[in-house]
Chains A and B, each alone.
Chain A
Amino acid sequence: MTPGQAAPATPGMPTNVAERDIAGLLFVAEMYGVQLDQLAALLGVTEPRARGVTASWQRARYAESARLGPGPPWVWLSRAGLAACGLRSPATAPALSRLAHLRAVAAVRLALEATPGYRGAGAFWRSERRLRARMGGRVGLREHVPDGEVHWPDGAPVAWAGECWAVEAELTRKTVARTAAIMREILTRTGDYGCPAAQAREPGRPPRHDRVLYLCSPAARPTVARAREMAGALGARVETRDLPPGAALPGLPGAGLPGAGQSRAGQSRAGAPS
């Protein structure tokens, strides 16, 4: 276990930061933290090579690494690393209770970004961390923040160009009422996150999210399906799919995910822009 070390406030910028490093650092910063196998998939390298990359980030005091739970070590950015990525969030290790969820969301993002359609359209993943950073301390009401947003640029060569999707990774089974409430909240929201409370759901304005994409574990799938039925007409804008392979924490018994433990199946790719 490597204890979290406080990084100096203004470390010197390494001179050998490659494009691959920038993409990796930004990905890790936005996702709170990633496991080494996912980082390897992101960078398109083997795990030993990814460990070396992580070590170089640690030497530059941009990142920290530790074995927080089952499976490969986790990598997260230090304060200096976050500042270099333009994020002012607190530099803390991923919370133990969120490890499984963080891994699932990272897997969803990797799966999306691995598709030619995503890369060809130049889509953009806006992470939960960026959404929360935008909210800052301004919004007091308990709002649900999606696990990410996918923004499809106008004019992209897809039918849904210009759309904004909310992405939700569902690992555990909530109550149907709670899931339906979240679904309705996302689909009826009109304002950006961090906007004044009065604009969050302004009558007469188009919804912020054109659709919401639910990636479910087998355990959560029936709940999401029933919540979608309860949403009525709004349910037409809900897409549900299984979580991608490798979304479960390696070594955990099941979680019922397809391909649990196949951490890199079909996800390796060269550093995708994020």
Chain B
Amino acid sequence: MIRRYLGLLALLAVGRLLIRLAGLAVIAALAVAAAPVSLVAAYAATMAWLAGWPPRRLYRAALWCLPMVVVWLAATAVTTRSWRQVAAAPYLAWLAMWHGAAAGSVALAALTIAPAAIPLGLAAGGLAWAWRGYAMRTGTGGLSPGSAVSFDRRQWRHQARSARARIAAPGAVPLLSRGGDIVPGAVIRTVGHRASPAAAIPYRRLRSHQVVIGTTGTGKTTLLLRLWAGFCARGLQLYAAGAGHRPLLVVLDCKGGADSRRVADRARRVLRDAGARSTAVWPDEAALSLWALPPRQLITTLVDMIEHGTGGAAYYADVMEAVVALAVDAPAGPPASAADFLARLDPGWLAAVYAGDSADAALLRSASRHIADIALRFRTLFRRLGEGLDGPGGFGDADVWYCILEGTSEISVAETQARALVDLLASYAADGRGSQREILLAVDEFSAVSRRLPVWELYERARSLGLALQVSAQSWQGLATRDDDRYRIAATADGGIWLLRTPHPDAAAGLAGTRPVIDTSRRVRGVPRWSHEGSSRIRQAPVVDPAIIRSLDVGQAAYIYRGGVTYVQIKRLVAAPAAVAGQPVPGQPVTVTGAAAAGHASTPRPEPAAPPDAGQFLDEAFGAGPH
């Protein structure tokens, strides 16, 4: 009995094996019979695996072959003048291919079957590749459940390699697409976004708020420069076409130091290539005039620039505000410079100015004993601030303002400067001239200088004034000082969030939400064997895998937008080389301006001949001989 049972089992096993072998034989026969299609499909699937292409790319390639098929069928129709022949053309080509191959004309055979075999092979390869990807994603493919993880890691490497090759190809990743979208780089992978070889960000998203998070050395500056250049280039295109206002980019670099100055120089050269006519580097080479603020705003800003205590110091703050208001609102008009303002903080001058106004004169009498102290504080403040806010100049004077704040070495000064700069920009945006510009305010590590002006207040002001705000930080914690503010900033970044490698991406990555995925369990048949039997269920998985963010390479970034993510290999913008500086002036920093910024190299120019002698004329005018 036992022997019979064992015989039956063996018979069943042999039967199953035979059925499987028969199936494989049929498939092999079909593959051999359709050898050209099979070869193209295998080649296409292998290429897709190696390059990490999505199946859609193979389908698209198959569609691009359709013109060839149409031409081939049309040629067949013209030569045979028979619709039957046209309908049978693929079969006849297949027969001719085999006959040619049998006769040894392999090249002719391949040429004969190519119009039919290539699109069919590409489509079949796409289907096979899609099936493979689906099986691995759902956990049903591979020898073990861990195969899916290995497959995904391997595919990431392949995709990243393809993206790097794409950005290395000259002209493959332009700054702007044909549709005017800004192209930061090549796509590595997408989840929930449309897959395309090059990442394209519509211009309007740069006119919304964006957040950029990435530690030092991950390519954050490269990404920011690319985005800024795209903003300038597209904005100027629209402006030239009469479809928009002239763009204005204002960068607040709150780190300071030599590194910020290197970035500023690089930004100037990159943005000039993008069409920005002039880049003002503040405060090193350009100045803004605090005194251009409207008098009411000027009073508020000046008072806020001075540190006040609490409690009894509130009285002193009120006295200071009253004195500042008297100095600014003097009948002679608002002050034009720091020296002018300091000159007004004099009891005698104020008394003379307000002699005819009894109310102001009374106010002045009660505050007069504090005026000297107030003048001292402002004199100290202006000395520490330097000339950067004493003009002349305004935001309308340049296409790009790169403002360097020493947030690392001189925090209190940088905080004051940040407050003043934001007030100036807000005033500029609110008045008639600023409303005729499309302004992008990019702030880097603003939380370092946000004690006087909370970053959330900056955000709110930017929104109310119609400014686009781009906040960048080295970490999630660097976005703002409080977690509530961080979430508010990130949650309202309707232009998208850029994540580069950062050790704590979970909070920002979580904003992308989740997506349904198929989770399959597989029965263990013995170590190390898993069967293909089991159960599947739907579960929610994060759209952005924080593990990928933590392992991003230099120049790779994740762009999170509307519940999807696009992983991008950023294309570095190569700026025109800096011009050779002219003969340096002792004691003056060597900077690249004017012709240097225009990309001209300084060439030696012969000095003009000595001018004719005008000594007699000058003696006549000024009475003294030449020194």
Contact = CB atoms under 8 A, between A and B. Distances in A.
Contacts of A97: 336-337, 339-340, 343
Interface in B323-369: 331-337, 339-340, 343-344, 349, 352-353, 355-356
A198 B600 contact: yes
B50 interface: no
Interface in B573-627: 582, 585-588, 593-595, 597-598, 600-603, 605, 607-608, 610-615, 617-618, 620-624, 626-627
A213 interface: yes
Interface in A172-206: 175-178, 180-181, 184, 188, 196-198, 200-204, 206
Contacts of B433: 137
B285 interface: yes
Contact of A3 (B286, B331, B624): B331
Nearest to B333: A92
A241 B626 contact: yes
A243 B588 CA distance: 28
Interface stretch (A9-17, A22-30, A44-52, A230-238): A230-238
B393 interface: yes
A200 B594 contact: yes
B624 A241 contact: yes
B542 interface: no
A69 B627 CA distance: 32
Contacts of A177: 585-588
A242 B621 CA distance: 10
B397 interface: yes
A107 to B, nearest CB: 10
A117 B286 contact: no
A203 B605 contact: yes
A21 interface: no
A130 interface: no
B117 interface: no
Interface string A241-260: 11111000000000000100
A241 B607 contact: no
B513 interface: no
Contacts of B582: 188, 201
A114 B621 contact: yes
B244 interface: no
A97 B391 CA distance: 14
Contact of B331 (A1, A236, A239, A243): A1
Given A97-B340, A159-B612, A181-B588, A141 B280 contact: yes
Given A117-B620, A141-B286, A197-B277, A239 B340 contact: no
Given A159-B614, A181-B585, A203 B595 contact: yes
B595 A201 contact: yes
B398 interface: yes
Interface range on chain B (Cβ under 8 Å from partner): 35 or more
Contacts of A181: 585, 587-588
A133 interface: no
A216 B612 CA distance: 22
Given A111-B621, A236-B610, A198 B392 contact: no
A185 to B, nearest CB: 9
A221 interface: yes
B256 interface: no
Contact of A237 (B278, B586, B603, B608): B608
Contact of B613 (A2, A66, A159): A159
B287 interface: yes
Contacts of A132: 392
B611 A4 contact: no
A221 B627 contact: yes
A242 to B, nearest CB: 5
Given A95-B336, A234-B607, A237-B611, A139 B397 contact: yes
A201 B594 contact: yes
Contacts of A210: 608, 611
A19 to B, nearest CB: 24
Contacts of A98: 336-337, 340
B614 A141 contact: no
Contacts of B98: none
Contact of A207 (B587, B600, B602, B608): B608
A68 interface: yes
A141 B336 contact: no
A203 B618 contact: no
Contacts of B586: 177, 180, 230
A188 B585 CA distance: 13
B101 to A, nearest CB: 67
Contacts of A202: 595, 600
Given A177-B587, A236-B610, A204 B392 contact: no
B397 A244 contact: no
Contact of A206 (B331, B393, B597, B608): B608
A258 B622 CA distance: 11
Given A117-B620, A142-B285, A244-B623, A160 B614 contact: yes
A58 interface: no
Contacts of A3: 331-332, 356
B336 A111 contact: no
A240 interface: yes
Nearest to B604: A203
A234 B583 CA distance: 12
Interface in A101-116: 111-112, 114-115
B563 interface: no
A270 interface: no
A225 interface: yes
Contacts of B332: 3-4, 66, 68, 92-93
B401 interface: yes
Of listed A198, A221, A244, residue having the most chain B CB within 10 A = A198
B394 interface: yes
A134 interface: no
B90 interface: no
Centre residue among A96, A210, A245 by max chain B CB count within 10 A: A96
B585 to A, nearest CB: 5
Interface of B: 277-280, 285-287, 331-337, 339-340, 343-344, 349, 352-353, 355-356, 392-394, 396-398, 401, 433, 582, 585-588, 593-595, 597-598, 600-603, 605, 607-608, 610-615, 617-618, 620-624, 626-627
14 contacts: A1-B352, A1-B353, A4-B333, A66-B332, A98-B337, A118-B617, A137-B396, A137-B433, A140-B286, A140-B393, A197-B277, A197-B597, A197-B598, A204-B603
Given A140-B279, A177-B588, A236-B611, 10 more contacts: A3-B332, A95-B335, A96-B343, A200-B595, A201-B594, A201-B595, A241-B621, A241-B627, A242-B624, A243-B622
Which 9 A-B pairs rank lowest in CB-CB distance, beginning with the nearest?
A140-B398, A3-B331, A177-B587, A198-B598, A97-B339, A140-B397, A140-B280, A159-B612, A95-B336
